[in-house]
Chains A and B, each alone.
Chain A
């Protein structure tokens, strides 16, 4: 059970991070600064709870607000550049934030120990959860509740006129300007909202790991932040959640038993996922008929029930598999994930049939992709007459 609670917390935190990038990506800006805002939230709130002794809820708001303020200030110069230059500028910003925390030391004596961020050594002892006796389940519920609130907020934003304006700016900023949209105001606002959400995510992250250091907030995390909404699809917030479950749950945790091969498969599977659903997971779901949608719903519900049924049930599956294959060396975690994938991919026989039916199309797509790669161009050229 421990494993599932830990995973739920991880998914909650990363979904919030992904949603922070989701808001900025709506305006067509590929931001690599989200890890920086995440770090600001993590450190600031960590200091508030450990040094100042605050409760986590106000720390959540201050962590987010600090990140939002920094985002608004950084947004004005950064948003004057576009496209690739914006990516470079935001990477530089993220690294600057990381190196700030690398050099930042502020420690306070508390009883026998010193607490607070200590430069390259990191910030240890963010012990709000254990100190207040929160169990793993409490933390998981708290983090998922915050995630649900953030998600509902972004979902609402998406459906409001403000969301339509963000998308309009992302599609054609010149046309948006010509219908009266103040580009600077809209882009800086989106950046600040994204910063706030990332700061909230950072707060949860630092409190659930209890120990953070500058290296946690590098370019890799920034890449993950934009990968979630892009893989999941920029049309719906649930895509980001689905992508986090796919990437963190399945690719990172679920494939751990593959050892070093995991890293290879990880990249490969992301490429496959993007090619099977170029417009994100959500668009695949949207294209399903109601019949198949019910099956995806059913799969999700059954998975949750399986998870709640806990280790016992999963161990039964392990035992059943080992009964057939002999000792495979598989553990509960691995098996639970394989079960998860099987259930998600095709709950019931008809679900499996659908998976089989979709396979040729997927393979065709993949082979077309490989042909193009061999041809050296993504654009298919007409064959020359002999």
Chain B
């Protein structure tokens, strides 16, 4: 579904992502892990089209999407969340999802005026569904900026789902969450997988990654150093070295 070939990104002299190859198949949950600064978020931003790649190719469903504008990649069916939550704080919860109604299929079913004035009945219904799924139906008229942290995370996820994507890029969705919230997120992501949404997950919280990911790719200094099932990656000595250093193997495992 998503194929990344020799993707490279330089910031000045710094190589943030170095000749990365990665394939995500339909229906999979693939996790991208690695120490801080290893280029995970940069990879997500490159896929989403936030900034242009220095080299390489990204294709999605057979279509070349390298260097397309963010709103175009969304139209292709790729939605994303941000590492640091970026909601529209002065809009209400409901409006946050309302703004995000830009999926091509909702566009076709409604005329221009309707789309910009209120959105079609179908689009509004899907907003309600996402609100219920995110457990935010009661907070619909509150300003997004006034929500609690966990609620904001849920809202951001719901907002990306409002565009009805087939691939979801999640940039550290569990950062700062309590263990219970992580469990709830785990369940939510499994439901999404059941809905047929493919997920590329960037995450530090290993409780989440090891449980849910079908495949894990490990980055270090912009390079992919390992790829495989959670068990394979945990056993990989190169991964242990990247996370824990070379001095002494400990019982902490790869999770670090």
Contact = CB atoms under 8 A, between A and B. Distances in A.
Pair from one complex: yes
Contacts of A179: 74, 79, 99-100, 102, 159-160, 162-163
A140 B79 CA distance: 52
B63 interface: no
B88 A181 contact: no
Nearest to A178: B70
Interface in B147-178: 159-160, 162-163
Given A161-B116, A161-B117, A175 B88 contact: yes
Interface in B19-56: 48, 50
A126 B128 CA distance: 55
A182 B90 CA distance: 20
Interface string A180-194: 111100000000000
Given A172-B86, A175-B82, A167 B91 contact: yes
A164 interface: yes
Interface in B76-97: 79-80, 82, 86-91, 95-96
Interface string B100-115: 1111000000000001
A175 B74 CA distance: 12
A167 B90 contact: yes
Interface residues of B, number: 33
Given A171-B91, A172-B88, A174-B50, A180 B102 contact: yes
A180 B100 CA distance: 7
A181 B91 CA distance: 16
Please give me the 3 A-B residue pairs with the lowest Cβ-Cβ distance, nearest first.
A180-B102, A179-B100, A175-B86
Interface of A: 160-162, 164-165, 167-168, 171-172, 174-183
30 contacts: A160-B117, A161-B101, A161-B116, A161-B117, A161-B119, A164-B95, A168-B91, A168-B96, A171-B88, A171-B90, A171-B91, A172-B87, A172-B88, A175-B88, A176-B99, A177-B69, A178-B70, A178-B71, A178-B74, A178-B80, A178-B82, A178-B86, A179-B99, A179-B159, A179-B160, A179-B163, A180-B103, A181-B102, A182-B69, A183-B71
Given A162-B117, A164-B98, A182-B71, 8 more contacts: A160-B117, A162-B116, A168-B95, A171-B91, A172-B88, A175-B88, A176-B88, A179-B160
